Amino acid sequence: MTRDEIRELASFQADESKRQSALSFYFQPAPPQDRSHRHEAIAAKDVVKQALKSAGAQGKNGHLHADLDRVLDLATNLRGASRGRAVFACSAQNFWKEYELPPRLGETHIYLQSQFQLKPLAALLGAQPALCVAVVDRQRARVFDLRLDDLRERGAIVHMLSRNASSYGYNGYEAGHAERRVAEEALQHFKSVAERLRTDFERGIWERLIVGCQDANWPEFEANLHPYVKQRLIGRFSADVASVSNEEIRDHAAPVLDRWITERGTKKVDDALDLARSNTRGVAGLRRVLQALETGEVQTIFLNEKFSARAVQCPHCGHLDAHLIAACVACGRATRELADASDAIIPIAIRRDIELFYLKDHEGLDRAGNIAALLRFRSDQTTGQIPVAS
């Protein structure tokens, strides 16, 4: 799943005047020990059937029925699935997208709204960087892109080493010479892999790096990484290029990435809350975060997982307000109430590339109303924009 695809989902709007609905379906598989049961597939079918019933009761149009029937087919075949699944559909606009996702979606659920429901997806994506995983040994390297659980090989580099000296039965001098030659070849290989990582980074192909290699090779390879590639390195795991499977690469990289995201989110939210207290580049609480979103100041948003708050949105100008006012303060038109403010916040964050962190039980964030933001600048305090280092 690419950022462009997510942005497309965040921009989608069903035409309510034509009674259209944007359908979002999330399937959460059962834990492995329960997978032999048909429970999760049956539960998924029930969720869809229930939606079909209520759509019928509300007199929704035929397009929605077609979408629901198609999702029902899909749900019926999910028995024993180990991966999560998301479907976004609106056949009235010829829209159908289906994704396999990591099985961390919370629960199986279907949403019928004017926009796609992206909260489970946003919670999963969190602040996922464009991640490169490089698996390296002295003569081979394989370079992968990892987006969510989707691991794709972007290229391989191979410089087969000369046969080592012992296989020729050389005498001492020649054996030493051959060994030095092999060491030199390995060094050149490491250098060219490091160079490839640097140029790919400069071309914007990746933002963060995880390296898989044997412990014995790591010091030499690390020494050849360009300083700003090294700054982007978030961790390493031990692996053998010749035998490691894609599945294993994904399994090794996932915890390294999760740990990094959690540490980074916790540190950044602490910063944001400090900055909110000193009234500088942080804000806390829904009202202040919504204001900052409208003035374009927000760089990063932090949500506690349990965040939920009502708000209103103006369908005409898009103004968001934490006060449940009937008329928009910006344009005077009638507002629409949102059961959950994050339904409006998340698509905005995705469209504008605002980093989004979901945190589990962060006490400081809890006290601040479960939502806070880090700002690029303060429009009420500065004449120009002061960039903030990430």
The two beta strands, 95-101 and 84-90, are: antiparallel
Among 330, 348, 369, 379, binds Zn ion (CB under 5 A): 330
- Region of 135 (left: φ > 0; alpha: ψ -120 to 50; beta: rest) is beta
Stretch that binds Zn ion, among 76-84, 202-210, 214-222, 307-315 (CB under 5 A): 307-315
Looking at beta carbons only, is 241 or 328 nearer to Zn ion?
A: 328
Q: Does 328 bind Zn ion (CB under 5 A)?
A: yes
* Euclidean distance between CA atoms 124 and 102, whole angstroms: 8
Q: Does 45 bind Zn ion (CB under 5 A)?
A: no
Contact 3, 118 (CB under 8 A): no
Closest approach of Zn ion to the CB of residue 311, in Å: 13
Looking at beta carbons only, is 255 or 315 nearer to Zn ion?
A: 315
Closest approach of Zn ion to the CB of residue 326, in Å: 12
Buried b (16+ CB within 10 A) or exposed e, 296-326: ebbbbbbbbeebebebbbbeeeebbbbeeee
Closest approach of Zn ion to the CB of residue 334, in Å: 9
Q: Where are the alpha helices (DSSP H) in 58-171?
A: 62-76, 119-125
Looking at beta carbons only, is 142 or 319 nearer to Zn ion?
A: 319
Buried b (16+ CB within 10 A) or exposed e, 2-25: eeeebebbbebebeeeeebbbbbb
Looking at beta carbons only, is 102 or 296 nearer to Zn ion?
A: 296
Contact 143, 196 (CB under 8 A): yes
Closest approach of Zn ion to the CB of residue 103, in Å: 40
Q: Does 314 bind Zn ion (CB under 5 A)?
A: yes
Closest approach of Zn ion to the CB of residue 324, in Å: 15
Neighbour order of strands in the sheet with 22-27: 95-101, 84-90, 22-27, 109-113
User: Site mask, Zn ion, residues 7-36, x = CB under 5 A?
Assistant: ------------------------------
Among 66, 158, 223, 331, binds Zn ion (CB under 5 A): 331
* Euclidean distance between CA atoms 316 and 167, whole angstroms: 78
Q: Does 317 bind Zn ion (CB under 5 A)?
A: yes
Closest approach of Zn ion to the CB of residue 287, in Å: 17
Q: Does 325 bind Zn ion (CB under 5 A)?
A: no
- List C-alpha distances in Å: 152 to 121, 131, 149, 206: 20, 11, 10, 13
Looking at beta carbons only, is 39 or 333 nearer to Zn ion?
A: 333
Looking at beta carbons only, is 156 or 317 nearer to Zn ion?
A: 317
Q: Does 319 bind Zn ion (CB under 5 A)?
A: yes
Looking at beta carbons only, is 288 or 319 nearer to Zn ion?
A: 319
DSSP state of 78: -
Collapsed DSSP state (helix, strand, coil) of residue 372: strand
Looking at beta carbons only, is 75 or 314 nearer to Zn ion?
A: 314
Closest approach of Zn ion to the CB of residue 319, in Å: 4
| Residue 235: Cβ within 10 Å count | 16
Closest approach of Zn ion to the CB of residue 14, in Å: 20
- Give me the residues that bind Zn ion (CB under 5 A), please: 314, 316-317, 319, 328, 330-331
